[in-house]
Amino acid sequence: MFDPYKQSFLFFKYTWLTVVFICAAVWLVYVFRDSGFINGVLYNPIVYLPNFLIHEFSHRFAGPVMMILGAQYGDAMNFQAVLVIIAGNAGETLVPVFLFFCALRLKGGRMLMPPLLYWISTTWYDVARYVSDARAMTFHLASSDMVSDSKPGTKGDWWYILDYFDALEYDILIGHVFYFIAAFCLVMAIFSAWYIFTHLEEFALEGKKNINKTPVKMQTYEELTKDPFSNIVPPPSQTDNSMHVIKIKPKNEDL
């Protein structure tokens, strides 16, 4: 089971008012995603650097592997080459998702859930911006060598991905789906932090109950008052004198 201790937001206690509030918050974040505040929360140097490094490392890691498996680029680009391109955003998102599920398998791992959900939301926001720009090509794109870059007008990863699947015309729609996922993850990160903080005492009591569930064997009165030395076997000298023969040497015996 991915959450053996039931720590994720799926096991929170919700009311109808809470659900309505969460839905409204997700919608507001989605609608105002390009505003200065929300854009700054989801796209800033603190989260951009690790996301960028993981993104480019994933390209670098998948490239040689797919080359061995026969990746071909250019006009004859095959599925192996597409996987190399997908690896960038896939790795960027899967790393925090993997850490999120690892945290859920730890006792007390719920404390790591808010920051990891926030991290996940930034990766979805990043990929949403990227895929929405597939046809427009307005971004400055960094190369996988992390040194050179390309000016606007250069085809990005998602241009090749969507073109391979004949879905280039749906770049804006797919981007909106990813924006919505990012908004949901951000709202749940904030809500999880609030919920955990307001239920710390409840979680502490649950931890004590789990400790006290260890079965303890109850002893009877006879077992408690029993002589602890009653099962000790006495030495042979007290049970059989014939087993011990002592030979006394006479005093006048010649040596």
Supply the pLDDT for residue 1: 73
Interval 196-216 mean pLDDT:
74
Supply the pLDDT for residue 75: 77
Give the sign of the dihedral formed by CA 16, CA 22, CA 25, CA 29. Answer: negative
Checking DSSP bridges between strand 141-142 and strand 149-150, what pairing results, if any?
A: antiparallel
Supply the pLDDT for residue 255: 47
Segment 221-233, tens digit of pLDDT? 666 667 666 666 6
Cα–Cα–Cα angle for 224, 225, 227, nearest 5°? 110
